[in-house]
């Protein structure tokens, strides 16, 4: 009996190994261009620092590839460059972004809003979180992590990332484009 089970067990293992060898792991399949594809190295690699122009070009590419991100220009830098802000959330939230802005504005001012109305608006609205990086020119990690975070929010499909995108509007901004 052992001799009969051994060939079929071997066949099952061999078939699984063959299938695995020709299947790209889910983690290696990307929805958008990775930082390594864009810059030729991973974010945080030694001796290389993408600057604001590189971030600018990368974010434009990501916004074109992802339905989770739109770009807004929040002004010009002191050196006259467009100061970008990435607005990252689920496609469903992007579809009603004007309503979500209105809710945030109403709750922020809180003028003439009853407690019941405020509670209803809070249930309908989404949390808005501002995340920036790169304030001090000599501190490089902040700007670098910003690029990695924006990539992950546009690429990852795990339950936690999708939960964040469904419940939060992330405003990602380089704090000091002229310093990098």
Res 144: pLDDT: 86
d(C-alpha 129, C-alpha 116), whole Å = 24
DSSP string of 76-119, one letter each residue: E-TTS-EEEEEEE--HHHHHTHHHHHHHHHHHHH-TT--HHHHH
Res 50: pLDDT: 85
Res 180: pLDDT: 67
Contact 87, 169 (CB under 8 A): yes
Residues 6+ away with beta carbon under 8 Å from 157: 31
Res 161: pLDDT: 97
Res 85: pLDDT: 97
Res 141: pLDDT: 76
pTM of this structure: 0.80
Res 178: pLDDT: 82
CB atoms within 10 A of CB 97: 14
What are the chain's domains? 31-89+126-179 (3.40.630.10)
Digitized pLDDT (tens) for each residue of the chain, 180 residues in all: 445 444 554 444 444 444 444 444 445 589 999 999 999 999 888 888 888 899 999 999 999 999 999 999 999 999 999 999 999 999 999 999 999 999 999 999 989 999 999 999 999 999 999 999 877 777 777 788 999 999 999 999 999 999 999 999 999 999 888 876
């Amino acid at each position: 009996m052992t001799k009969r089970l051994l060939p079929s067990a071997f066949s099952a293992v061999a078939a699984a190994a063959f299938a695995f060898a020709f299947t790209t792991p889910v983690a290696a399949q990307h929805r958008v261009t990775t930082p390594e594809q864009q810059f030729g190295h991973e974010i945080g690699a030694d001796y290389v620092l993408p600057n604001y122009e590189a971030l600018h070009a990368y974010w434009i590419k990501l916004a074109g590839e992802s339905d989770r991100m739109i770009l807004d220009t929040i002004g010009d830098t002191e050196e006259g460059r467009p100061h970008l802000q990435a607005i990252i959330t689920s496609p469903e939230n992007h579809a009603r972004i004007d309503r979500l802005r209105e809710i945030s504005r109403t709750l922020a001012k809180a003028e003439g809003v009853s407690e019941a109305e405020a509670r209803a608006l809070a249930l309908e609205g989404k949390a808005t979180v501002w995340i920036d990086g790169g304030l001090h020119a000599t501190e490089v990690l902040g700007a670098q992590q910003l690029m990695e975070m924006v990539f992950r929010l546009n690429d990852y499909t795990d339950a936690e990332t999708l939960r964040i995108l469904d419940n939060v509007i992330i405003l990602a901004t380089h704090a000091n484009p002229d310093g990098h």
